Amino acid sequence: MGKIGDPITIVHLLSGLQDTHWEVRAQAATSLGLLQDARALKHLATALDDRNWWVRYNGAKALWQIGEQGINELQRIALSTSKLKAHIAAQVLAEGNLGL
């Protein structure tokens, strides 16, 4: 998939968020969080709509890891009308504030 710092890496990981297997989508979200690249923000926010809980959770955690921009996005999502997205965003915000 690439090496950290290689510009192609994020392209492959963003593609992984669209994979048919939830395990691949969940791992792609986790890896994007480790990269802390703001280019992934909207893609990770979209992952919070995934049908699989692990993908939603890993996507929200990745947003937190990106830093201020990601946390702002989580706060916006937590106020969303979508209960599914709002719940996972609020959960990760609470965990992050507790240092989990």
pLDDT at 36: 93
Using 70 as the pLDDT threshold, list the residues of the chain that sit under it: 1-7, 99-100
Q: What is the pTM of this model?
A: 0.89
pLDDT at 54: 98
Residue 59 contacts residue 50 (beta carbons within 8 Å): yes
| Domains within the chain, CATH numbers bracketed | 7-98 (1.25.10.10)
pLDDT at 16: 97
pLDDT at 4: 57
pLDDT tens per residue, range 32-53:
999 999 999 999 999 999 999 9
DSSP secondary structure of 46-96: HHTT-SSHHHHHHHHHHHHHH-HHHHHHHHHHHTSS-HHHHHHHHHHHHHH
pLDDT at 53: 96
Q: Which two tokens stand for residue 77?
A: 């999502």
